[in-house]
Amino acid sequence: MCPFRLRRDALRRRIVYAAAAFIAASIIILWALGGGPFARPVPEKIAGNEAGDLTIREARRRGRSAIDYRRIDARLKRLAEEPAMVGLAVAIVEEGDIRFLKGYGVTEIGGDPVTPNTVFRWASVSKGVAADMVAKLAGRQLLSLYEPVAKYAPSLRLPAGNEHRATVSDLLSHRLGLFAHANDSRLEDGYDPGSLRRGLAALNAICSPGQCHAYQNVAYDAASEIVSKVTGRPYRDVVRDELFAPLGMTSATMTRDGLLSAKSWAKPHRGGKTSKPVEVTDFYYRVPAAGGVNSSIKDLAVWMQAQMGKDPDVLSAGTLAAVQSPRAATPGEYRRMRKFRERLGGTSYGLGWRIYDYAGHKVVAHRGGVTGYRAMIMFDPLLKSGVVALWNSSAAQPGGLEYEVMDMVYKLPRKDWLELDGKPGILPPQPAEMLTPDGGEPR
């Protein structure tokens, strides 16, 4: 072969190799920046306590954010310094994507920092899990939401035999005709939940089933019995296999041991920075449909995405419509939320979820509390934007975060809903309606 041809072939090879190297380097750079064909979902690229900074960069790269993440981060840092706070974890979903995910404070005084992987209790936010599961089974024609609850939950007995009149829908929307929190105090005294449900028959009804709303825990857990009856399997196993596992919620559990065995878990505190952790009780783990879920804030954010319709193979549009449609007016909730009345045009309850008119927009929400833990979720299912938070004290102050975030989503005037500006160093006494016993949202 002539020397000229050898030199030409060598030159061609060098050009090809250089082009291939350039393409490979470009792909690696795009991957590292969060773009390109191999970009990973935001939750997987976040690790450690500074994860919020990563998501701030992610939001800026997308360039369409209505939420000022730097302001939110600064506000949350100030909130974490409040005397009533110990640890806090927050996630924000915008346009269906997790844009912000960060931990603040510590798991206990002198303990480890809270991270996006630290596990907390959901408390009554767990009710949405039970309602979603029952509605999912109804979508398969395994039960009907409009049949008597007695058909599926034999332990539930209501005054005057009303279990034969109340429907599954009435159960999940707290319209059984019982007074609020019936037999909760006895549950906290250690009585068996099944016997307490049977004992509800001895109480006085406040209305006919379906006619009024009064919040329940013991009765609501008949939902776990419904799931077990129609599937032939334990409630916790069904939820794990049908909801948590398909969604990739690897930290989600529904037992006390599940919390205590987590690599990082937040210890419960009745007070704030001057208090010591208290015992993790199992009362509300024994009514798992009402208040039994644990998880990290990362997995609670994934759960919120599913409620927005991001995982139709797990939660179909029909299932979400069933649980997110108003079923009962909740005037008591409207009165309780008087601090936020400027934004709320009305409140109602669906199946396991609260529905608010937020300045003319439909938002879906829930809060929860057990001893030493609080949780909240609020989102706009149409805009696929919302916020979740978990914290390990009884402080009511973080509740304002929902409104600061949603005001940004809707481009409303900013207000100090977190009550951080111009405040003295010591928190004022909390309103009595925000101090609640195990398992209950404020009445």
Convert the pLDDT of each residue in 280-307 to its tens digit. Answer: 999 999 999 999 999 999 999 999 999 9
What pLDDT was estimated at residue 23? 53
The pLDDT tens digits for 174-210 are: 999 999 999 999 999 999 999 999 999 999 999 999 9
Distances (CA, A) of 379 to 42, 350, 363: 19, 14, 5
User: What pLDDT does 6 receive?
Assistant: 45
The domains of the chain are located at 67-126+249-434, 134-225
The Cα–Cα gap between 162 and 128 comes to 24
CA distance 266 to 134: 30
- Assess whether pLDDT exceeds 90 at residue 433: no
Examine the pLDDT at 341 and tell me if it is beyond 50: yes
Q: In this structure, which CATH number among 3.40.710.10, 3.40.50.880, 3.30.479.10, 3.90.180.10 belongs to the domain 67-126+249-434?
A: 3.40.710.10
DSSP 244: I
pLDDT band at 30 (very low <50, low <70, confident <90, very high): very low
DSSP state at residue 140: T
Q: Report CA torsion sign: 156, 160, 163, 169.
A: negative
Which of these ranges, 21-25, 27-31, 41-45, 95-99, has the smallest mean pLDDT?
41-45
Quick one: average pLDDT of 108-120?
97
**What are the helix (H) ranges across 294-394?**
297-307, 317-323, 331-336
Q: What is the pTM of this model?
A: 0.85
pLDDT(50) > 50: no
**pLDDT tens digits along 143-166:** 999 999 999 999 999 999 999 999
Q: What's the pLDDT score for residue 21?
A: 57
Q: What is the pLDDT of residues 352-365, one digit of tens each?
A: 999 999 999 999 99
Q: Rounded to whole angstroms, what are the CA distances from 172 to 45, 295, 410?
A: 37, 22, 30
pLDDT of residue 42: 40
Q: What angle do CA 370, 374, 377 make, to 5 degrees?
A: 125
- Residues 236-252: tens digit of each pLDDT: 999 999 999 999 999 99
Q: Model confidence at 383, in pLDDT bands (50, 70, 90)?
A: very high
Q: CA-CA distance, 308 to 385, in Å (whole number)?
A: 8
Of 12-26, 53-67, 98-112, 333-347, least confident by mean pLDDT is 12-26
Q: Which residue type sits at 362?
A: K
Is the pLDDT assigned to residue 14 strictly greater than 70? no
DSSP designation for 48: S
